[in-house]
Amino acid sequence: MRSTGFDARPAGQRRADPLGRSRRRGRNTAWVSALCLLLMVSLVLAVALGPVTVAPGTVAELLLSHLGRLPRRETLDSTASAIVWDVRLPRALLGAAVGAGLAMCGAALQAMVRNMLADPYLLGINSGASSGAAAMILFGVGLGVGEHALSVSAFAGALVASLLVYLVARSAGRVTSMRLLLAGVAIGYALTAVTSFLIFASGSTEGARSVMFWLLGSLALAKWGSPLGVVVVVVLFTGALLSWWGRRLDALAIGDETAHILGISPARFRTQLLVVVSLCIGVVVAASGSIGFVGLVVPHLARRLVGAAHVWAVPVSGLLGGIFLVWADLVARTLLQPQELPIGIITAFIGAPFLLYLIRRMHPGS
């Protein structure tokens, strides 16, 4: 009699691909490669297109020469060079990073609160960032942190909001998904009211307009330097960590009891997730305002492509989110050029119908 049911099979009987997973692995790898390529192409196009169109060949040449891969040619138009390198490229990169960060955090949050309609802004983080930015714009709170004052105060607002959410969710005991949701919604509303009050109290029309811009989200603040660098690094780090935690996210998405059974403390893991997601969203919102719908809709599309296992769904959400936002920003810049639309309008116009489609699919027949 065997001592356990799990003695290793004799080497000759080892099955190749015993669970039939190699096909999916191959298909998903193909998706990731294709999306990486599409992201590259989108970035080049986003840099080429706009009120002044630069030929993609010239864009490629400029990029390569700036990266030191090609000798600089004096014949290259210096205006084109400035547009491509100083204006559009940082903006496109910021768009890709912001989109990726929002989508990956959305995927993690949907697992974390076990609700497929959850969104990174559900935790009130964007309301906190908006309050911080509004306070800065209208009253100059945070003066003395130099040119990044706005980003820094928005980030501080985001951190205060998530800390409040965490404390409220924890005050009654363990951090459960329902407490987290309710605390996030409540704090979000409260901070939105704070922002409105600040606008009302300041009586500054100009200030109110810039806060509005913040509330709708925009990539127009993008330029080379530390904010862009911070966003890119934080988003890459968050993506790597959340993919690394893929199986734990699967377990948590099934339920707290399942997570516990599999050796994961649900309350502690949820707290770790909250820290990572809050930092990422805080940095993203500080750089770009509240761009809606990306974090809500893109994870669903990713799951449709590569399945629900987070090891795949998280990185693919990131790639799709990056591509989506680069294109949304391109449309925002060019649709009514030379005037620029707030990007949040574009993402909502594309995201809302898709969301309606998802809701219809979720409950067939009802």
Partner 1 sequence: MISGSAISFAYGSRTVLDSVDVSVRHGEVLGLVGPNGSGKTTLLRTLYGSLVPTTGTVYLDASTLQELTARQVAQTVSVVVQETPGDLPLLVSDMVLLGRTPYRRTSGRSAESDEEIAADALERVGMLASATKGFDELSGGERQRVLIARALAQQTTHLLLDEPTNHLDVRYQHEVLDLVRSLARSSNHAVAVILHDLNLAATYCDRLLLLDHGRVVAAGTPSEVLVKEHLEPVYHIDVRRLELDDGFQLVFRAAPGRDRQLRNTDAVDPGRRTTLRP
Nearer to partner 1, 2 or 69 (CB): 2
The site that binds partner 1 (CB under 8 A) totals a number of residues, namely 46
Under the binding rule (CB under 8 A), the answer on residue 5 touching partner 1 is yes
Establish if 265 lies at the interface with partner 1 (CB under 8 A). yes
Distance in Å, CB of 322 to partner 1, minimum: 22
Give the separation between CA 192 and CA 24, rounded to whole angstroms.
44
Among the listed residues 251, 100, 268, 130, the one whose alpha carbon sits nearest the alpha carbon of residue 195 = 130
Which one of 197, 244, 349, 357 is in contact with partner 1 (CB under 8 A)?
A: 244
Query: Which among 162-170, 172-180, 262-270, 328-336 is the span making contact with partner 1, rule CB under 8 A?
Result: 262-270
Contact set for partner 1, span 18-37 (CB under 8 A): 18-21, 23-24
Those residues with Cβ within 8 angstroms of residue 348's Cβ, 6 or more apart along the chain or in another chain: 292, 293
Which residue, 16 or 67, has its beta carbon nearer to partner 1?
A: 16
Q: Binding segment for partner 1 among 58-66, 160-168, 251-259, 321-329 (CB under 8 A)? A: 251-259
Q: Which is nearer to partner 1, 225 or 255 (CB)?
A: 255
Contact window for partner 1 (CB under 8 A) among 62-70, 147-155, 161-169, 248-256: 248-256
| 11 forms part of the interface with partner 1 (CB under 8 A) | no
CA distances from 130 to 156, 212, 227 (A): 10, 9, 17
**Separation CA 92–CA 74 (nearest Å):** 25
Q: Which stretch binds partner 1 (CB under 8 A): 72-80, 237-245, 287-295, 321-329?
A: 237-245
Helix and strand element counts for the chain (H, E): 15, 0
Minimum CB distance to partner 1, residue 10 (Å):
12
CB of 362 to partner 1, least distance (A): 7
Cα–Cα distance between 37 and 35 in angstroms, integer? Answer: 5
Structural contact between residues 165 and 229, judged by C-beta atoms closer than 8 angstroms: no
* Contact between 60 and partner 1 per CB under 8 A: no
CB of 304 to partner 1, least distance (A): 9
259 Cβ neighbours under 8 A, 6+ residues apart: 248, 251, 252, 265, 266, 269
Nearest by Cα to 310 from 257, 245, 262, 254: 245
Q: Measure Cα distances from 318 to 36, 114, 300, 363 in Å.
A: 10, 20, 12, 27
The Cβ-side half-sphere exposure at 168, using a 13 Å CA radius, reads 20
Instruction: List, as own/partner pairs, every contact residues 78-83 make where C-beta atoms lie below 8 angstroms and the sequence separation is at least 24, other chains included.
Output: 79/52, 80/52, 80/54, 83/50, 83/52, 83/54
- 261 is a site residue for partner 1 (CB under 8 A): yes
Verify binding: residue 205, partner 1, rule CB under 8 A.
no
- Told to check if 245 binds partner 1 by CB under 8 A, we report yes
CB atoms within 10 A of CB 68: 8
Q: Which of residues 307-336 bind partner 1 (CB under 8 A)?
A: 307-309, 311
**Closer of 98 and 264 to partner 1 (Cβ):** 264
Return d(Cα 117, Cα 46) in angstroms, integer: 30
Nearer to partner 1, 53 or 265 (CB): 265
Yes or no: say if 316 and 32 are a contact pair by the CB < 8 Å rule.
Answer: yes
Does 165 participate in binding partner 1 (rule CB under 8 A)? Answer: no
Q: Based on the shown chain and the rule CB under 8 A, indicate whether residue 303 belongs to the binding site for partner 1.
A: yes
Query: Interface residues with partner 1 (CB under 8 A)?
Result: 1-6, 8-9, 14-15, 17-21, 23-24, 111, 114, 116, 243-251, 253-255, 257-258, 260-265, 303, 307-309, 311, 362
